Amino acid sequence: MDGGLCHDVGMEMWHNPACSKCAGARASLEEARVPVRLRAYLEQPPDADELRDVLRRLGARAWDVCRTGEPAGVALGMAGWTRDDATEPRWIEAMVAHPELIQRPILLLDDGSALVGRTPDALDEAVRRAHG
CA geometry: angle at 34 spanning 40 and 96, to 5°?
25
Task: List the chain pLDDT tens, one digit each, 132 residues.
Answer: 333 344 456 899 999 999 999 999 999 999 999 999 999 999 999 999 999 999 999 999 999 999 999 999 999 999 999 999 999 999 999 999 999 999 999 999 999 999 999 999 999 999 999 887
Domain ranges of the chain: 12-131
State the pLDDT at residue 13. 97
CATH fold of 12-131: Glutaredoxin (3.40.30)
Active site residues: 19
State the pLDDT at residue 9. 64
State the pLDDT at residue 24. 95
Helix (H) or strand (E) holding 39: strand 36-40
The residue type found at 99 is P
State the pLDDT at residue 131. 87
100 by Cβ neighbours in 10 Å (0-12 / 13-18 / 19+) ranks as: middle
